[in-house]
Amino acid sequence: MKSTHKRRLISLALAVLMLVGVLSGCGSTSTSTGASSAAPSEESSSASNNAPAQAASVPAQEGEVVDTQKDTITMTVDREPASLDPAVYVSTYNAHDQIYEGLVTYDLDGNIVPLLAESYEQVDDITWVFKLRKDVYFHNGEHMTSADVLYTFTRAMKFPQAANMLSNLDPDSFEATDEYTFTFKTKQPYAFTLNNLCELYLMIVNEKAIQNAGSDEAFGRNPVGTGPYKFVSWVAADSITLERFDDYWGEPAKVKNVVFKYIIEPTTRTIDLESGGSDIDWVVANEDYERVANGENTTVLKYSIAATRYFPLNVTKEPLNDIRVRQALQYATDAETIWQVVFGPEVADYSTSFIAPGIGGHAEGLSQYEYNPEKAKELLAEAGYPNGLDIEFLQLSNAVEDMIVTLLKEQWAAAGVNLIISPIDSAGINSRLNEGSFFVSSLQQKTQPIDAGFIMWKLFHSSNRGSTNRSYVADPELDAILDEICITMDREKRDELAIQAQARVNDLAVVINLCHLHALNGLNKNLRGYEASGYRRPLLKNCYFVVG
Amino acid sequence: MKENNMQKQEALTYKHRGQGAEIWRRFRKSKTAMLGLFMLLVLVFLAIFADVLTPYDATKSDAANRMLQPSAEHLFGTDELGRDIFTRIAMGTRISLTVGLVSVTISAVGGIILGSIAGYYGGKVDTIIMRFVDIWMAIPSLLLNITIVAVLGVGLENVMIAIGISNIPGYCRTIRASIMSIKGSEYIEAAKASGASDARIILSHIIPNSLAPLIVQATLRMGASILICASMSFMGLGVVPPTPEWGAMLSTGRSFLRDHPHLCTFPGGAIMYTVLAMNLLGDGIRDALDPKLKN
Amino acid sequence: MFKYILRRILLMIPVMLFVIVIVFTLMYFTPGDPVDTILAGSDATAQTREALREELGLNGTYLERLGRYIGGLLHGDLGLDYNSRMPVIDIIKVAFPSTLKIAGAAIAFATILGIAIGIWAAVNQYTFADTFATILALLGNSMPVFWLALLLMLQFSIRLRWLPATGLDGWKGLIMPAFCTSVSSLAAIARMTRSSMLEVIRSDYITTARAKGVREANVITEHALGNAMIPVVTTIGIQFGNLLGGAVLTETVFAIPGMGTMIVSAIKARNIPVVQGGVLVCALSLCVLNLVIDLLYGFIDPRIKSQYK
């Protein structure tokens, strides 16, 4: 006990000394608090059609003092990545974001800007030339050259999931034309080429590091990248620890250590944040929104991530192949009640557009099927079901889906539709969805990259039936619009096409929109420099703490 | 002479009528046993009259009245979809009592059969059965439950079957241990010597005398089954919504634990109450059945 | 006795084999494709899926796959996690010690306190002490564990800030998870002790001992306790066995990467090698535990010992 007191006194003394030092000598830190409060949230959410996803940051204030004692940023996540090898598909990437970098990246507004590349040029329809930075080093000390880029690209194509996403790149064209120049071609003109380069799969890796690791799996547990943080350790199912990379080509990270803690239970994550066990909660549960937002030491950042919740109607199954039945189900659904009750207005919002507000390509005022059970009954009678019908609903068994399906069942009952709940667990549902052996389900789409055209293509093009096209729609008119999107380089024009696609989807009534969900990040109130948007996840190198 | 006759008569009446009354008398003597019985009767009452006790529907949502605190109109408040919690708890009584009874019956029957054979015969039969039981027990029960439900499909009946099957080994071991202790005792030797068949010895001597630990185990298990069912619901493998099963209610309520604790308090309390009742009752029955207490 | 022990150890091998076959069969017949879970959310085509299935060895008949697995086992290879390709043995090396720590602490606490409560209640049967002790032990048992865990966490981590909310760091981190895990065992042990003691106390040789004038305390400790312990030891064994399987709910709430969470999430993801490896380790520890329990029987009750030939 006594020694703890002693230790406390000593650290207090040190803190005071450092404070004095900071205030007097290292003056730059206090000024940088002003400078780094870059895009505060209010400014970027303009009302125009092309409004970017809302960026969010914690504004710094006058006279705040940097906390130099706290040397670790702890973030809790609800999922653990399968591997830290960027070429391997994973569903959670917070650690990857700090370790690796690509040739280009998104800024907070969704514009693509150079990162490891100094500049790039699209020489013709299908050819791209990248000039690389000359001052980049990997965590193992190796200097980055175009050989590394060539290696990365070639290697990625060997991984099936990566190759699938990057299928428009032509592997035979990859060329390290000189030490700092890299050239490649696409198979045909492809609008999302640069988006592909922002993907994790093409984060630049070093051949020597992978050889030293011995195998891809070993590399995945001992990653080496160019980013501001380097890998230290990974305790399976528990945590991943990173440390500042001092030879980073850009401005070094402000806080020395980063720890990602893996906590499944949402309430536990919240409690951990509140008790100071962590500084960032990547996924705040909807129910905890108020509590964390109004907490003594905590706050919540909310931003759009183009996550849309919807009910796909499988058009290959009778009677859903009849548009009148689909429209009837649309009229029978009171989405407003469901999302208000299940999520609440702080956490979700609604639009008739499949693309969320705040993202380019969001369509205002699309035609809509208003809640009208009588109309639903009429349509069903017209389609040959005057006494209503039974529809099976494939339901993922969890608390949120329970609530949604319970409310939906009651609503459809009022229109004469008997919803039969078919519960299934998370492992089983994917097989059923991929096979198409279901009628209706409840899904959430969160596609990368966040580009309206790309999302519409993914969700509704006939070639994606069996993977992301869950309603199994194959409509030539829709396909034509989506094909056009893929060769339209200009983002604004693509967004217009995306709006056309959405109008068509609404006409076809193949999905019932439920709502759009926001990302909710819980933060320690003393954290500064945290910025995130739907386009770009947070870079912890800019974060630091102030004394509370 | 007269006294002898009177004693004989007493002995006769004791034998015919007195057993039951004697057991009941001993049971009544224990306060905890009576408490357990009373608690269980309340549950049975709720189960029978659940649908007429309140004007509310257990499954119909009422979005306008969500998360209301307990009040005169809603004794236990309302849940996240506006349903009256008291009504749901009452309807849930039916489900929980069924889960407890069915799963315990499955386990007990299986366990008694296996355990008696193993314990009584010993030797090779014992070895084979007990190795089989070892394997059974070696697989973590929750894993077994989850896998059986994953194979059979989500739903209450399958959960009951799964729980029943995975608990058989426990009963088996207990019976066998008791039997092994009794086997060498004198009155079993005497029964064998007098030519009683093995089956008869097992049925009329061994099982009744091993009954006490078995009953204790059964009542503890009944409560545990309800708890396991709640755990399965926690993992999304239990009932189909909107079934008012206590475990499912507790699982949904845990997201709201900090701001609306009443969503957890009442289903959690109901589970505790039921398990406590079963246990007190079981203890009381065990004490009352105690064969050593002849006077 | 030595031959008996040796025989039991040798018998573990076929037991393990059976466990493997049963678990493999169960997972084989469980609907749901591991590949779909691994690739969930990505835009994988049918070819990608097929390629992955081939890579993971998911094609092939029941016997082929079983044979391959057992073959691997004989080389000490427990296979690789389908998702991360990490050797299963490495995953278990992290998960098992956590579970062992919690289970050990829990059973120790439950045994000491449980036996004490049980004896106290039995000796004071029908008094207030009996009722009080019984209800107290039972209350802990009746409470859903995850509810208890959340309430404890709210109280001790948020309001009082005495204990860490997550993880197993040091003895402070062990307290809440171990306590939550111990309550059900505590009740079971207390009750079994009580009922077993009551039975024994009323038996003839106890009456004889009392009649001979032996002091009550000696009656309890020397004469009654030994015989009463057998069902209690059974119960302790069963409870410890349950705990070794990992207390999933407690682990989830306190974010502890133990065997329970490992196996359950593997089942949910149809991550077959991890399920099999995990169950194998649990099964092995349980077999060892059973042997120890049976030996304890012999130690306590010489009549049983004589049956171990």
| Integer-rounded Cα radius of gyration of chain B | 23
Q: How far apart are CA C220 and CA C82, in angstroms?
A: 56
Nearest to C149 by CA among C269, C254, C288, C260: C254
Is the Cβ pair A427, C268 closer than 8 Å?
yes
Residue B285 CA: distances (Å) to CA of A270, B105, B211, C103: 46, 17, 10, 32
**Spans in chain B with pLDDT lower than 50:** 9-16, 292-295
Identify from A343, A420, A425 which residue to disrupt to test chain B contact, counting B C-beta atoms within 10 A and taking the largest count.
A425
The per-residue pLDDT for range A428-465, each reduced to its tens digit, is: 788 888 888 999 999 998 877 788 999 999 999 998 88
How sure is the predictor about A18, in pLDDT bands with cuts at 50, 70 and 90?
A: very low
Q: How far apart are CA C185 and CA C239, in angstroms?
A: 6
Residue found by looking up tokens 């045994």 in the block: C111
Peptide bond into B242 cis (omega under 30): yes
Q: Residues of B with CB below 8 A from A399's CB?
A: 251-252, 255
Q: Three-class SS of residue A258?
A: strand
Q: Residue A240's Cα: distance from chain center in Å?
A: 20
Residue found by looking up tokens 């224990």 in the block: B30
Is the Cβ pair A268, C47 closer than 8 Å?
no
Count of other CB atoms within 10 angstroms of residue B269: 18
How sure is the predictor about A26, in pLDDT bands with cuts at 50, 70 and 90?
A: very low
Measured in degrees and rounded to the nearest 5, phi and psi for residue A183 equal -125, 145
Nearest CB to B276 within list C139, C234, C267? C139
Residue A159 CA: distances (Å) to CA of A9, B87, C52, C270: 55, 55, 10, 22
Lookup: tokens for A287 = 């129910």
Is the Cβ pair C36, A82 closer than 8 Å?
no
**Spans in chain C with pLDDT lower than 70:** 41-44, 220, 222-223, 246, 308-309
The per-residue pLDDT for range A36-70, each reduced to its tens digit, is: 223 333 323 333 222 235 666 677 777 788 888 89
Q: Residues of A with CB below 8 A from B256's CB?
A: 287
B258 touches chain C (CB under 8 A): yes
Is the Cβ pair C202, B292 closer than 8 Å?
yes
Measured in degrees and rounded to the nearest 5, phi and psi for residue A349 equal -145, 175
A266 touches chain B (CB under 8 A): yes
Residue A532 in this model has a pLDDT that exceeds 60: yes
**Does A425 or C221 have the greater pLDDT score?**
A425
The per-residue pLDDT for range A108-123, each reduced to its tens digit, is: 888 899 999 999 999 9
Cβ proximity of C42 and C239 under 8 Å: no
Q: Residue C298's Cα: distance from chain center in Å?
A: 23
Nearest to A69 by CA among A257, A232, A295: A257
Q: How far apart are CA B238 and CA B161, in angstroms?
A: 12
Measured in degrees and rounded to the nearest 5, phi and psi for residue A541 equal -65, -25
Q: Residue A3's pLDDT is what?
A: 45
Q: If residue B199 lies in a helix (H) or strand (E), which one and from where to where?
A: helix B198-200
Lookup: tokens for A544 = 């630091």
Cβ burial of A302 (10 Å; 0-12, 13-18, 19+) is: middle
Q: How far apart are CA A461 and CA B100, in angstroms?
A: 51
Cβ proximity of B81 and B63 under 8 Å: yes
Measured in degrees and rounded to the nearest 5, phi and psi for residue A391 equal -135, 135
- Percent of chain A predicted with pLDDT > 90: 58
From C86's Cα to the closest Cα of chain A, the distance in A is 7
The per-residue pLDDT for range B81-90, each reduced to its tens digit, is: 999 999 999 9
Q: How far apart are CA A229 and CA A248, in angstroms?
A: 8
Helix ranges (H only) for B65-122 are: 85-121
Cβ proximity of C91 and C274 under 8 Å: yes
Residues written for chain B: 295
Cβ burial of A366 (10 Å; 0-12, 13-18, 19+) is: middle
Nearest to B80 by CA among B88, B71, B92: B88
Residue A159 in this model has a pLDDT that exceeds 70: yes
C121 touches chain B (CB under 8 A): no
Q: Residue B28's Cα: distance from chain center in Å?
A: 21
**Does A234 or B217 have the greater pLDDT score?**
A234
Nearest CB to A403 within list B81, B154, B259? B81
Nearest CB to B61 within list A398, A406, A423? A406
ipTM of the complex: 0.74
Please report all neighbours of B, defined by 3+ CB atom pairs within 8 A.
A, C
Nearest to A317 by CA among A147, A145, A473: A473
- ∠ CA B90-B91-B92, nearest 5°, is 90
Q: Residue A34's pLDDT is what?
A: 28
Q: Three-class SS of residue A156?
A: helix
Nearest to B81 by CA among C279, A382, A342: A342
Residue C234 CA: distances (Å) to CA of A28, A441, C292: 69, 48, 11
Q: Residue B295's pLDDT is what?
A: 30
Is the Cβ pair A399, B251 closer than 8 Å?
yes
Identify from B39, B43, B142 which residue to disrupt to test chain C contact, counting C C-beta atoms within 10 A and taking the largest count.
B142
Residue type, A497: L
Cα diameter, chain B: 83
Nearest to A269 by CA among A524, A69, A91, A71: A524
Nearest to A522 by CA among A278, A297, A280: A280
Is the Cβ pair C138, B280 closer than 8 Å?
yes
Q: Residue A39's pLDDT is what?
A: 30
Q: How far apart are CA A85 and CA A68, in angstroms?
A: 32
Residue found by looking up tokens 């241990």 in the block: B177
Nearest to C187 by CA among C149, C138, C233: C138
| Integer-rounded Cα radius of gyration of chain C | 24
Is the Cβ pair B279, C15 closer than 8 Å?
no
First to last CA, chain B: 23
Nearest CB to B81 within list A407, A421, A428? A407
How sure is the predictor about A524, in pLDDT bands with cuts at 50, 70 and 90?
A: very high
Cβ proximity of A154 and A413 under 8 Å: no
Which residue of chain A comes nearest to C41, CA vs CA? A91
Nearest CB to B255 within list A266, A395, A410? A266
Identify from B279, B280, B281 which residue to disrupt to test chain C contact, counting C C-beta atoms within 10 A and taking the largest count.
B279
Residues written for chain A: 548
Between positions 237 and 296 of C, the ones with CB within 8 A of A are 252-255, 257, 261-262, 268-270
Q: Residue A38's pLDDT is what?
A: 31
Which residue of chain A comes nearest to C90, CA vs CA? A236
Q: How far apart are CA A266 and CA A281, in angstroms?
A: 9
A466 touches chain C (CB under 8 A): yes
